[in-house]
Amino acid sequence: MKILHISKYYMPFIGGIEQTARDLVLSLRGVAEQKLICFDHRPHSGDSVDSIDSVEVIRCGQQLLVASQALSLSYGRKLRSLMREFRPDVVLFHYPNPFVAHYLLRELPPETKLLVYWHLDITKQKLLRRFFSGQNRRLLERADRVIATSPNYIEGSAWLRAFREKCTVIESCINEERLRMSEGEREKAAEIRKKNTGKILCLAVGRHVPYKGYEYLIRAFRLLDDRFLLRIAGKGPLTEELKKEAEGDEKIRFLGAVPDEELRENLLACDIYCFPSVTKNEAFGLSLAEGMYFGHPAVTFTIEGSGVNYVCPDKLCGLEVPNRDIAAYAEALKTLAEDPKLKEELGENARVRVTERFLYRSFAEKIRALLTEL
């Protein structure tokens, strides 16, 4: 079997969709001959070809970025060449990527199976959403199957509801190898705990972009006493703005972008995982699942139609509060801090849920079964 993967970007670019794309590639090693086409994430770059995990990666130079969508003068030509020369049996297309969908619908041979991995709806860019509505319908009509990351997203997406009979739920996965700790890392995690004796350590990890909701988390922390300490890992376009929002609050510390080993140390050391995303752009929440994997309860906002509240059910693995309600968010953190038995019970449930549903081996089995079915 020959499979062509189509992703917006690919490693070394770091993002949830790109990580899922790589998980797919790795899960199909030895099962299929694979190639992947994507944009080069670097602006004004040229075309290139390299190999990652023994899979050929074709990168098309990015000349322009419009509404977070990359444009490339060479993309149509490269895709046409792949269809004619590689002749894939299956194309695995990661959506949203609407400009590429235009080329895909034009170049896809009728006999080639199309598997659409629907990560999320376009919600923020209203003009873009309207402009591509007809294309979305044609894409889903052409698709043989559509992968959704949670049943919540199928119900919450008007597009997926309309094509429900084609949808299959395959939850995103976390890679246990990435989270495996060395003895030295465990010792450093213990040092973090020792330096902060008596504190309720809270951790948030992710890109500093609007839908992640960090401004609401920072405001919630202003309502808490000095028992609490929030460590925020990651960076993004809102980093400086968020630091200004947190000015004067000694309970909040920014760690910046941290390497995997430092991330693991902080994940093990923390007491409560904070996941304050506020819109459906957060379709699943891989970093949420990572926090739960370490046995920590999470505090989340209710996001209608998102998979976040499927990953972490309220009062089973954490506490869920009304969207953007900072007082309720602060109160949930207090509840966990003041009830160690509840915190421990929810944390244990969180770890069990991740190990039973969201690990790589389960993901790989489901993907292979779906391809066999196709």
b/e per residue, 10-43, with b = 16+ CB within 10 A? bbebebbbbbbbbbbbebbeeebebbbbbbbbee
pLDDT for position 122: 75
Residues 206 and 107 in one domain: no
The Cα-based distances of 149 to 18, 154, 166, 333 in angstroms read: 14, 8, 14, 28
Residues 52 and 142 in one domain: yes
Residues 220 and 262 in one domain: yes
Residues 338 and 232 in one domain: yes
Summarize pLDDT for 45-96 with one digit per residue, the tens. Answer: 889 999 999 999 999 998 777 767 777 889 999 999 999 999 999 999 999 9
pLDDT for position 201: 98
Residues 165 and 188 in one domain: no
How is residue 215 written in tokens? 């401004």
Query: If pLDDT is split at 50, 70 and 90, which confidence band does 309 have?
Result: very high
pLDDT for position 292: 98
Residues 339 and 228 in one domain: yes
Average pLDDT of 30-38?
Answer: 95
Give 128 or 170, the one with higher predicted confidence.
170
Summarize pLDDT for 261-299 with one digit per residue, the tens. Answer: 999 999 999 999 999 999 988 989 999 999 999 999 999
How is residue 98 written in tokens? 């609407």
Q: Range of 220's domain?
A: 178-357
Whether the bond into 237 is cis, omega within 30 of 0: no
pLDDT for position 346: 98
Residues 197 and 283 in one domain: yes
Residues 369 and 346 in one domain: no
Summarize pLDDT for 228-244 with one digit per residue, the tens. Answer: 999 999 999 999 999 99
Residues 23 and 161 in one domain: yes
pLDDT for position 130: 66
Residues 100 and 20 in one domain: yes
Residues 166 and 221 in one domain: no
pLDDT for position 176: 87
CATH number at residue 84: 3.40.50.2000
Say whether pLDDT at 313 is over 70.
Answer: yes
Total count of domains within the chain? 2
Residues found in the chain: 374
How is residue 306 written in tokens? 């998102």
Global pTM?
Answer: 0.86
Residue 225: partners with Cβ closer than 8 Å, 6 or more residues away: none
Average pLDDT of 248-255?
Answer: 97
pLDDT for position 43: 80
Query: If pLDDT is split at 50, 70 and 90, which confidence band does 188 have?
Result: very high
What is the residue-averaged pLDDT of the chain? 93
Residues 365 and 338 in one domain: no
